[in-house]
Structure 1
Amino acid sequence: MNIMIIGGTSGIGWALAEHYLRDGHNVMVCGRDLQRLTSDHHYPMLSCTQLDIADNVALAKAIEVFAEESLDLLIVSAGFYFNDRHQTLDAATTLRMLQTNVSGLNTAFELAAEHMLSKKNGHLVAISSVAGLLKDYPGASLYSACKRSVLSLCETYRIALAPFSIAVTAIVPGYVDTEKLRQLNDGDASHKPFILTEEKAVEYIVDAIHRRLAISIFPWQMRWLIKLFNYLPSQLLRLRK
């Protein structure tokens, strides 16, 4: 397969890239900072492109070049997190969250779908978060709202593209022990509930892609924890902020 991973220079994106490279697939990794690729391995089937998913022109060019031969699978792992429950969002950060987490994803899906529709084959994948399963409540974060939008976009594209044999999968992980999560938790994220290793998360994601699932939520414990959380009255949810 010809696989393009946007936001693939670290974390889950790069872990997925390495998995598919080891399986002999042709992979293009895209990200803002290619210097984050510190792997000692050399993959002949790997190509890298520096781009920001919020840059529509660069995004269109990268997809156009890679899709000249074929684009079989697009994985969008790019995301921007800001804890607005503890810090105040300014205008620039708000815009950055929207461009990266929502409009950038939509543009990437639209551009990739244009190429896949001509061949009536392909697969679009977006990495969301269990935060997107949280219902809206007083004090809810913009990050959660963005991740709900990811799930909605995936459903819309899935319905639109299903008649043309193009699959769309929303990946909804709980906590994954990535370098980014550790940085956000003073170097240690082991206290996070039901936290998974990157390797285990990749297993779940690859299986969902292989089965062309509409949505994959894991681990199951987090799925039920979020369901229970959503049953709490709004007054209690307001206090969480």
Structure 2
Amino acid sequence: MRILIIGGTSGIGLALAQHYLSLGEQVAVCGRDLQRLDPQLVERYPAMGRYQLDIADKNALAAAIDDFSGGGLDLLIVTAGLYFNTPSIQLDPATALQMLRTNVSGLNHAFELASAKMLPRKSGQLVAIASIAGLLHDYPGASLYSATKRMVIALCETYRKALAPFSIAVTTIVPGYIDTAKLRALNHGDASHKPFLLSEQQALAHITQAIAQRQARCIFPWQMHWLVSLFNCLPPPLRRLIRK
């Protein structure tokens, strides 16, 4: 398979790249800083494609997809996204716009460009990493991040509806907290206090199984899913109070 991973230079994106490379698949990763890649990984897999770009840059994204998909594109995985640790942060206009461009319009552009490569062959799969935060109903004080992740889930559902007649699958990954370097950095080096925290390897097992089975949606862990469902049943004022 030819697999392109946007956001594949770190975290769960990099773990997915290593997984598919170990299986002998043709893999390319995209990221804003290719220097983050482990030199030993690059040396071990010299055929791995590497594209330095920001998902918010549609022209750069189109060029990378065109270049890599010359022999066809079987699987696109989008893990790129901006995250802020708390809804209480007041985002400046530039940061808010960057989050929208990365989490929403960037994903839309990636799916649009990749599906254009897959439609003539009537095969392929699109995958996006959302968040359990995207399952939260909107309420006063809810974060922009959770709103963008609701859009990720909605975009996936829309593309799934449009592409299903052409044998192109769309898989939405909806994880809880994953113990990545990024999450630890946002929590002063230690994310162990996060509820139902999963290791990267545990998350990788859920994600790769969902992709292999071409599932429509994969939500994990079940405990976080249950908590979010319970939270959504509360009146909006009480939800806001709890979040504070």
Match of 2:170 in 1: 168
Report the residue type matching 2:178 in the other structure.
V
Contact 1:171/1:205 (CA < 8 Å) preserved in 2?
Answer: yes
Q: Is the 8 A contact 1:25 1:45 kept in 2?
A: no
Out of 79, 82, 92, the residue aligned to residue 81 of structure 2 is 79
Match of 2:226 among 224, 228, 231: 224
Any idea what SS the aligned residue of 1:40 has? Answer: helix
* 1:47 CA displacement: 1.3
Match of 1:212 in 2: 214
> What does the per-residue CA deviation read over 1:136-165, in whole Å, with 9 as the maximum and x for residues that have no partner?
011000000000000000000001000000
Q: Which residue of 2 aligns with 1:120?
A: 122
- Deviation, structure 1 residue 231: 1.1
Per the normalisation by structure 1, the TM-score is 0.98
Give, in angstroms, the shift of residue 131 of structure 1. 0.3
Letter in 1 for 2:67: V
Contact 1:21 / 1:45 at 8 angstroms: preserved in 2?
A: no
Give, as a single letter, the amino acid of the residue that structure 1 aligns with 2:25: H
Shift of 1:25: 0.3
Q: What is the rounded CA distance, in whole Å, between the counterparts of 1:130 and 1:35 in structure 2?
A: 30
- Cα deviation for residue 48 of structure 1 reads 0.7
Residues 75-124 of structure 1 show CA distances to partners (whole Å, capped at 9, x for unaligned) of 00000112462321111001000000000000000000001001000000
Give the equivalent residue in structure 1 for 2:106: 104
Q: Distance in 2 between matches of 1:200 and 1:44?
A: 27
SS at match of 2:142: coil
Q: RMSD of the alignment, in Å?
A: 1.0
Q: State the TM-score, normalizing by the size of structure 2.
A: 0.97
Tell me the SS of whatever aligns to 1:190. Answer: coil
Aligned to 2:58: 56
Residue of structure 1 in register with 2:32 after alignment: 32
**Counterpart mapping for 1:84-99 below 5 A:** 85-99=87-101
Structure 2 unmatched ranges of 5 or more: none
What is the alpha-carbon distance in structure 2 between the residues aligned to residue 117 and residue 169 of structure 1?
16
Equivalent residue number for residue 66 of structure 1 = 68
**TM-superposed deviation, 1:237:** 1.4
Report the CA distance between 1:27 and its aligned residue.
0.4
CA distance in 2: counterparts of 1:77 and 1:219, whole angstroms = 18
Q: Does 1:203 align with 2:205?
A: yes
SS at the partner of 1:30?
Answer: strand
With over 3 angstroms needed to count, the CA separation of the structure-2 counterparts of 1:126 and 1:234, relative to structure 1, is same
Question: Structure 1 regions of 5+ residues with no counterpart?
Answer: none
CA distance in 1, matches of 2:220, 2:131: 9
Tell whether 2:11 aligns with 1:22: no
